[in-house]
Amino acid sequence: MNADRITLTGVRVRAHHGVFDFEREHGQDFLIDVVAWLDLGPAARGDELAATVHYGELAEAVADAVASDPVDLIETVAERVARVVLSFPVRSAEVTVHKPDAPVPVPFEDVAVTVVRDRSWYESGSGGPVPLRRADREARS
């Protein structure tokens, strides 16, 4: 497997996910780490942005996914972000969602969940279809 990857670390998003009413009402910061595996050779050889993933657009798409539609679990948020990452031309994605201000009754620094997904996971029916990015949907209409 090709080990080329684009990594985004610490994408900070204020969102309202959580099981408790106060989490939904007041919100909190979530930190998102994304590793997107793809072949960077064509971009490097041709020095062309179109041959890679624009990491600025990826970061915006990740932030939009986290900020939208509050859910109870960060596992759900991680799955949502993985779907978004795979809507870009990447082979697989690793997504970690950190919730450093989680309501945990003992001292701690962070709580996080990580999911690793590839296209075959969705295509097999395990996770449903890989969604199209908004720009891709608009281009098709």
CA distances from 141 to 12, 79, 138 (A): 32, 26, 5
- C-alpha 55/C-alpha 49 separation (Å) is 10
CA distances from 133 to 64, 86, 106 (A): 11, 9, 40
DSSP state of 133: P
Q: How many CB atoms lie within 10 A of CB 72?
A: 13
Helices then strands, counting H and E runs in the chain, come out as 6, 4
- C-alpha 70/C-alpha 76 separation (Å) is 10
99 flagged as catalytic: yes
Catalytic-role residue among 17, 80, 99, 117: 99
Query: Contact 93/58 with Cβ under 8 angstroms?
Result: no
Q: Known catalytic residues?
A: 99
